[in-house]
Amino acid sequence: TALRTVEQTRTQTGLSVTARILDATYEIGRTCSDTFRDVKDRFIRHDCVNGQWNYLVDPNGFAC
């Protein structure tokens, strides 16, 4: 149901959404590298109120 709803999304200018469900199993407890954390922190900012759901991605990186 969620996948169908997302795929039916259209903008007023006609852009559509492509979505898929990944049916993969991931190892629990894996940690990411320091390099990845640095890149993530440079390009993704999580909202103070509900950062798990609300975030901003800046492809140019945030000015520090």
pTM for the model stands at 0.40
Q: Which has more pLDDT, 62 or 56? A: 56
Q: What is the pLDDT of residues 5-61, one digit of tens each?
A: 888 998 899 888 888 888 888 788 888 888 888 888 888 888 888 888 888 888 888
Question: What is the helix, strand, coil percentage profile of the chain, to 5?
Answer: 25, 10, 60
pLDDT band at 63 (very low <50, low <70, confident <90, very high): low
Contacts of 45 (CB under 8 A, 6+ apart): 55, 56, 58, 62
Q: What is the pLDDT of residue 13?
A: 92
> Quick check: 64 pLDDT over 60?
no
